């Protein structure tokens, strides 16, 4: 008859057991290394995205100093310097694709008027400047399938390959038709670093200051939860900023960034994006250049 072990003897025997030790050591060592790898990957993507947003601001302000004082006959009679966010013809998918073709030297496509408008209808000058800002950002926008899966399965369905993407063309289509109209805003501060924005007119003399605000989608598993914000964490940041006061560095003013992103055309689509479990990082960049002052008359009225 086998001798029955006491609880103390059973515990001592279990502690001497060496089976499975290698697997446990592997898990202990692997999980921190995996988190370090994913965090490094997400940080790298954020750094690249920040560079693209800075480039988008420079591209947009270069377009602005040409577009704002340009001949009104090229912009449906809109006065020089106008940046109205309403009153223009609603932008459609064919409009965006036609503008893209023109940017690469092709023949701009004519709008059929049968496609759904992408957002509100800003003036033609502001639309041209937004397109200039949106083209560089198309490289970091999520692909069409990724955007659609955010509304259905949430972040659980995304993998590293989904975030990195596989097709530049689908990423470009997503940026032009879905993501950028909801996640990108172009605003005109009254002066560099100012939080006061011009809403209808930019003077035709002096410098033109432009700011691009972008909601970059973070999708790397685990790392996005540590480095990026959900709607809940964004609300917590706003509450914290309200308690602690406005930061000295205007670029980190979270409330101001949210107010700027409200100028994005597709506000309803942005609300749906923020309602998902997706995580985003707000990126802001500003650029200034002297107004080109066209040779014909430029009025500030």
The C-alpha atoms of residue 191 and residue 108 are separated, in whole angstroms, by: 35
Low-confidence spans in the chain with pLDDT less than 70: 1-20, 86-121, 151-157, 238, 241-253, 268-270, 272, 292-301
Mean pLDDT of the chain: 77
Number of CB atoms found within 10 A of residue 22's CB = 9
Return phi, psi of residue 212, to 5°. -110, 125
Whether residue 173 lies inside any domain: the answer is yes
If you count them, how many residues does the chain have? 301
Whether residue 212 lies inside any domain: the answer is yes
Return phi, psi of residue 273, to 5°. -60, -45
Whether residue 299 lies inside any domain: the answer is no
Round the CA-based radius of gyration of the chain to a whole number and report it: 25
pLDDT at 234: 74
Whether residue 298 lies inside any domain: the answer is no
Whether residue 239 lies inside any domain: the answer is yes
Adjacent-strand bridge partners of 290: 207
Nearest Cα residue to 293 out of 43, 72, 55, 81 = 81
CA 231 to chain CA centroid, nearest Å: 15
The C-alpha atoms of residue 195 and residue 250 are separated, in whole angstroms, by: 8
Tokens 């955010």 identify what position?
150
What is the bridge-based pairing of β-strands 207-218 and 197-198? unpaired
pLDDT in tens, 184-195: 999 999 989 888
Whether residue 19 lies inside any domain: the answer is no
Number of CB atoms found within 10 A of residue 129's CB = 27
Whether residue 16 lies inside any domain: the answer is no
pLDDT in tens, 57-104: 999 999 999 998 888 888 888 888 888 876 555 454 445 545 544 444
End-to-end CA, the chain:
105
Domain assignment of residue 82, given as a range:
37-110+118-290
The C-alpha atoms of residue 142 and residue 160 are separated, in whole angstroms, by: 12
pTM exceeds 0.85: no
| Domain count for the chain | 1
pLDDT at 203: 85
Whether residue 137 lies inside any domain: the answer is yes
Nearest Cα residue to 299 out of 124, 110, 80 = 80
């Amino acid at each position: 008859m086998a001798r029955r072990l006491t609880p103390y003897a059973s515990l001592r025997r279990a502690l001497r057991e060496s089976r499975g030790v290698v697997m446990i050591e592997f898990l202990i060592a692997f999980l921190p290394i995996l988190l370090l790898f994913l965090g490094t990957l997400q940080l790298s993507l954020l750094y690249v995205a920040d560079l693209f947003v800075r480039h988008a601001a420079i591209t947009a302000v270069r377009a602005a100093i040409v577009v704002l004082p340009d001949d009104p006959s090229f912009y449906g009679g809109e006065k020089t310097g106008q940046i109205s966010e309403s009153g223009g013809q609603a932008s459609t998918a064919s409009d965006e694709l036609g503008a893209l073709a023109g940017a690469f030297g092709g023949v701009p496509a004519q709008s059929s008027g049968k496609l759904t408008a992408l957002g509100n209808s800003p003036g033609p000058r502001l639309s041209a400047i937004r397109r200039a800002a949106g083209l560089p950002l198309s490289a970091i926008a999520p692909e069409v399938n990724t955007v659609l899966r955010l509304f259905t399965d949430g972040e659980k369905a995304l993998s590293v390959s989904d975030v990195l993407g596989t097709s530049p063309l689908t990423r470009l289509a997503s940026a032009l038709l879905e993501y950028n109209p909801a996640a990108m805003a172009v605003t005109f501060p009254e002066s560099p670093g100012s939080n006061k924005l011009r809403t209808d007119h930019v003077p035709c003399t002096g410098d033109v200051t432009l700011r691009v605000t972008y909601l970059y989608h973070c999708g790397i598993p685990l790392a996005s939860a540590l480095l990026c914000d959900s709607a809940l964490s964004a609300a917590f940041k706003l509450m914290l900023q309200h308690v602690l006061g406005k930061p000295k560095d205007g670029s980190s003013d979270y409330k101001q960034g949210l107010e700027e992103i409200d100028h994005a055309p597709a506000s309803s689509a942005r609300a749906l994006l923020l309602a998902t479990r997706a995580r985003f990082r707000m990126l802001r960049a500003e650029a200034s250049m002297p107004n080109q002052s066209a040779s014909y008359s430029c009025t500030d009225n």
